[in-house]
């Protein structure tokens, strides 16, 4: 199954730190946009929401 990865609209093409997200069955996929064939995380929905909460506090 081909995943549809989305990069944040806040990302640029200057090689900065960017992540991409994909909707997965039962969660969210996260990968490094500079290394699309590298490691990926599969986060449960509650874990992803907790991550976003922490990131928004910074």
Q: Which residue segment(s) compose the domain that 49 sits in?
A: 22-32+39-58
Q: What is the pLDDT of residue 9?
A: 75
Residues 6+ apart with CB under 8 A from 3: 22, 24, 29
- Is the residue at 28 inside a domain? yes
pLDDT at 34 exceeding the cut of 90: no
CA separation, residue 31 to residues 10, 14 (Å): 16, 18
pLDDT at 15 exceeding the cut of 80: no
Number of domains forming the structure of the chain: 1
Task: Give phi and psi for 38, each to the nearest 5.
Answer: -85, -165
Highest-confidence segment of 16-20, 35-39, 46-50: 46-50
- Is the residue at 9 inside a domain? no
- Is the residue at 55 inside a domain? yes
Q: What is the pTM of this model?
A: 0.79
Q: What is the pLDDT of residue 17?
A: 73
């Amino acid at each position: 199954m081909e995943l549809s990865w989305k990069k944040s609209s806040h990302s640029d093409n200057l090689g900065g730190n960017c992540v991409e997200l994909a909707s997965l069955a039962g969660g969210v996929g996260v990968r490094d946009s500079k290394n699309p064939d590298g490691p990926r995380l599969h986060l449960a929905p509650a874990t992803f929401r907790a991550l976003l909460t922490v990131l928004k506090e910074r």
